[in-house]
Amino acid sequence: MVPVTYYVALSALLFTIGALGVLIRRNPLVIFMSIELMLNAANLAFVAFARLYQNLSGQIFVFFVMTVSAAEVAVGLALIVAIFRTKHSINIDEMNSLKG
């Protein structure tokens, strides 16, 4: 019997690591992967709570999150490829044309 608190704590930890990854890494692909990690952490929390409250809505939600995340990855990677074609670099620090 694992208290749900532990699952949520794990989820929070994974989320934090993902956030750290978004902030620290300069490779856009790794940043994207960190975003996936964050989404994954949220999914874990959903499932844990679904089990706690005996409600399948949590799992359905995870289903949809996965779908959306897949779509998002598709488009996002297409974007990165398109940017790479023009910039010929994958250093995110060099994509600062929106500088104000």
Show contacts with another protein in window 26-55 (CB under 8 A): 26-27, 29-34, 36-37, 40, 43-44, 47-48, 50-52, 54
Residue 77 vs residues 16, 49, 62, 92: alpha-carbon distances, Å: 23, 31, 22, 14
Asked if 3 and 51 touch (Cβ cutoff 8 Å), the reply is no
Question: In the bound complex, what is the minimum distance in angstroms from residue 25's beta carbon to another protein?
Answer: 7
Please tell me whether residue 8 binds another protein under the rule CB under 8 A: yes
Please tell me whether residue 86 binds another protein under the rule CB under 8 A: no
Please tell me whether residue 87 binds another protein under the rule CB under 8 A: no
Nearest residue to 72 via CA among 98, 45, 38: 38
